Structure 1
């Protein structure tokens, strides 16, 4: 396909944006965010000494962002430059810093002005725009932007911004999502400095980005506690502690991270000489003294003793953090009710429980639309009961529950049908095997050992309970089944994980736009269709492919950039349960 870029900054601007969007999706999935609404765009502000045609450019140019959002941006950049705090900064012994100062001021001022220009758009669309540092690319100061729905931060709350006495001290990252988006944009700004950015692959290493984000985020507690940077890499240190055994026993226990002089800290005993938190084997040894009642008391550098918090402590000041060691190489850090981060075998993630209720309700509605709200609420209560137990377990909801329990009778304990209650579930889940209920919550069997063949969805990185649930649930043919798997390490999985629902009218609207598109306006429906190709049935695929063929065969001017879109074919897993109307 050929496309004329009206708001042209450089030849690979669309490739660059696609690459950043792909990287963002993979990183968000790595920390546990699936099917999140986010967008990536680039805004370019004309350099003062350039003769390019347009003062402001945007990529993509024919989608939802109107250039009117950035009307007056050039003037706003000038104001930001005049008011920039570095204007009055002088480097007496650093000639290079003095030479770089004007360009650094301009780059920061462009980003600040773009961020301010997007504030009203963000407010109107329930979004938060993360704005990277602008970089000069062929006559334009290009700003990479990631816009993400604020719903993410309602499910995974940020720490509050504090009023710091030292105005030059960074606030740090407010949560793990905040940290990964900042690192992605920092990487994007660096790539914009390379020759022909977007021409090659970004070669981003997803795990490294996520771990770097966790490293960065866990400097935030020290800033909150002492308003200073820590010399301790807390993420790395906690991972090392959680990996160690003491006399054959893996790490279990709690650490309260705070200023030890905080009024809400009550010491039961204090060490004569504080234990350096960097001495991980020593810390692992003293961790053995902690319990449900008593925790180690620490700041970002030392362990000071054993103690607890006063009963009525209010975490709203966000000056105290709790680290819990849950299992071997598995820990989490929280502030009050907010679980900020979990790490399992050095893989940082968001707390899986946030949003699980909504996901479960969505799956129940789509798989079993004939059940009542009361029946679904009872199943939710059953799942919450399982997650609060201190052991691994599994609950299977199956349309064919009765016949399946009869088939598997020799591999478990069939029971007379009964409405399962949370109290009863707590008792019967103590034995090995799975509890099987139907979509109305009627239990037919307990302690059932599931069967099933290996499936592509199985993974050697997960335990036998998880893979057993996957093998049983996926090959269901016409019988709908759902498994809630609580692993020994308290990880909660809902299998299968259904894709987000989409409106049929939205599919038809974008097909129609593509069918009537020209070389000037095909890009928006083409991109939307490419991002959502899973949802198209056979007839819709035929229409889309015909429209793509027509556009590809249109005559074009010399100099147009050619992009190839893979043709659509129906996905065997797509069905009407993924459609809203």
Structure 2
């Protein structure tokens, strides 16, 4: 293999190339911008790993890390190439013949790069396990005689808290979750920028729009429920964007091959309707009701049917597309929502606030609070998260004072103990609800004020940012439960889980 001519491992000095620090910072900003749109608790971290291009194992001094002050040392990755060689299959590999020698070299090079990436990820698993980080690597890019990999790390507890498909049912082209699809899309974007670094005076560009990257990841993720077919993501967007006789689309589509044993047919179309025919699919969607859904093989809709009960011997978990409101839909598998698409852009399912996380936050702010009061506030927070149009619940020691201060921009009420049923009623109007830590309500429909803060997020709506400004500048200890109209739920101030 000409691409891997043997030569002595050499020690090379930083920098790996002129703009490595600039690129690493750009990659960090890209990762933060994308993953913060999904879940701020993912806390992405990016660093670069470089090693000599020769296939032989590196000496520790031949491994470089950017930044040089990173907590990992070159010695941690000295055995990556040896480990990659050990991953070579013992059995004879399938022989792939190429017409041109260059194509054969390229094939062997990419196969080796894949082994190096896998070996680096295995080394990182050992290193980052105690840190609570999940680590992922890009394919190596040959740059100035150095194999450069982009390493992305995320908070492992948050990453693994989202439902994912079994690895046996997925592949490189069919990621097991939206999060994994986004990881691959971010790393692929970084690799593309590295390969193009010879242009623009060697400066790799990472200027892709965050939401556009998420849409590409959504398309990639939909390859799994579509059985590898392309176009399902955009077809669902097209259907969700249409109205039928002025009514927004609501209904369900079951994804399964024709004559699936777990699907009971109710009605079969003599001529299947292609999914690209969005208007016809939107019209047919009106027939779905309850358990009965449109049946589709991700290419055509061929009728109506329903999934058998889990107790049935023929039962098998299937993918379901649920059209919720105009321009919005979600993908589920085995009862777990895996992706919500809001106005054409995918988001992670934002479930209810975790009780332990809520309790820890309350205990941190009010250590002397009784268990009964904590439970009361938890029940109110849960009720707030069910408000479909969004709301803000403020728990503040100065709730009474704040109701008086904001009297011209709220509805003050006679102090009363707040119950979940009453909270459901008062959150039907815009504005925040003020209660004190004992659950007594003083104001509803409040328009919050506060000083601008650098923690604000322009990608979020006014409800989130106004609550953040208020909490950051409040003179009293205060907690906000923020429910956005698009389904996002935030607890402010946020603390580590």
TM-score, normalized by length of structure 2?
0.82
**Residue 87 to residue 262, structure 1, CA distance change in 2 (3 Å):** closer
Match of 2:49 among 42, 66, 71: 42
CA distance in 2, matches of 1:154, 1:53: 32
Residue 106 (structure 1) aligns with: 112
Residue 493 (structure 2) aligns with: 498
Equivalent position SS for 1:222:
coil
- Equivalent residues in 2 for 1:106-255 (5 A)? 106-162=112-168, 170=172, 172-195=174-197, 199=203, 201-223=205-227, 229-231=228-230, 233-255=231-253
Residue 541 (structure 1) aligns with: none
Conservation of the 8 A alpha-carbon contact between 1:257 and 1:321: yes
Residue 451 (structure 1) aligns with: 447
CA distance in 2, matches of 1:104, 1:471: 47
Conservation of the 8 A alpha-carbon contact between 1:258 and 1:319: no
**Residue 113 to residue 281, structure 1, CA distance change in 2 (3 Å):** same
Point out the more displaced range, 404-413 or 339-348: 404-413
Match of 2:95 among 88, 103, 114: 88
Please list every run of 5 or more consecutive structure 2 residues that lacks an aligned counterpart in the other structure: 1-11
Conservation of the 8 A alpha-carbon contact between 1:394 and 1:485: yes
Match of 1:268 among 266, 269, 289: 266
CA distance in 1, matches of 2:94, 2:305: 49
Conservation of the 8 A alpha-carbon contact between 2:167 and 2:176: yes
Conservation of the 8 A alpha-carbon contact between 2:134 and 2:156: yes
Conservation of the 8 A alpha-carbon contact between 1:131 and 1:185: yes
Q: Provide, for residues 359-407 of structure 1, a one-character-per-residue CA deviation record: whole Å limited to 9, x for no partner.
A: 6445544544443344233222222223335554443323232344566
CA distance in 1, matches of 2:209, 2:451: 27
- Equivalent residues in 2 for 1:6-17 (5 A)? 8-17=15-24
State how many pairs are aligned.
Answer: 481
Residue 259 (structure 1) aligns with: 257
Residue 57 (1) aligns with residue 64 (2): yes
CA distance in 1, matches of 2:465, 2:82: 62
CA distance in 2, matches of 1:214, 1:392: 25
Conservation of the 8 A alpha-carbon contact between 1:450 and 1:472: no
Conservation of the 8 A alpha-carbon contact between 1:86 and 1:101: no
Q: What is the Cα deviation at residue 15 of structure 1? A: 2.7
**Residue 106 to residue 381, structure 1, CA distance change in 2 (3 Å):** same
Point out the more displaced range, 342-351 or 110-119: 110-119
**Residue 376 to residue 10, structure 1, CA distance change in 2 (3 Å):** same
Residue 518 (structure 1) aligns with: none
Q: Provide, for residues 33-68 of structure 1, a one-character-per-residue CA deviation record: whole Å limited to 9, x for no partner.
A: 346253433132342599999443333344321333
CA distance in 2, matches of 1:463, 1:28: 17
**Residue 318 to residue 439, structure 1, CA distance change in 2 (3 Å):** farther
Residue 6 (structure 2) aligns with: none
Conservation of the 8 A alpha-carbon contact between 2:239 and 2:279: yes
CA distance in 2, matches of 1:23, 1:356: 28
CA distance in 1, matches of 2:338, 2:381: 22
Query: Alpha carbon RMSD of aligned pairs, Å?
Result: 3.9
Q: Provide, for residues 516-549 of structure 1, a one-character-per-residue CA deviation record: whole Å limited to 9, x for no partner.
A: xxxxxxxxxxxxxxxxxxxxxxxxxxxxxxxxxx
CA distance in 2, matches of 1:468, 1:191: 33
Conservation of the 8 A alpha-carbon contact between 1:250 and 1:328: yes
- Equivalent residues in 2 for 1:274-285 (5 A)? 274-285=272-283
Q: What is the Cα deviation at residue 98 of structure 1? A: 2.6
Please list every run of 5 or more consecutive structure 1 residues that lacks an aligned counterpart in the other structure: 224-228, 503-581
Conservation of the 8 A alpha-carbon contact between 2:416 and 2:442: yes
Residue 5 (structure 2) aligns with: none
Equivalent position SS for 1:118:
helix
CA distance in 1, matches of 2:385, 2:353: 14
**Residue 112 to residue 262, structure 1, CA distance change in 2 (3 Å):** same
Q: What is the Cα deviation at residue 238 of structure 1? A: 1.3
Conservation of the 8 A alpha-carbon contact between 2:352 and 2:489: no
Conservation of the 8 A alpha-carbon contact between 2:250 and 2:323: yes
CA distance in 1, matches of 2:275, 2:40: 32
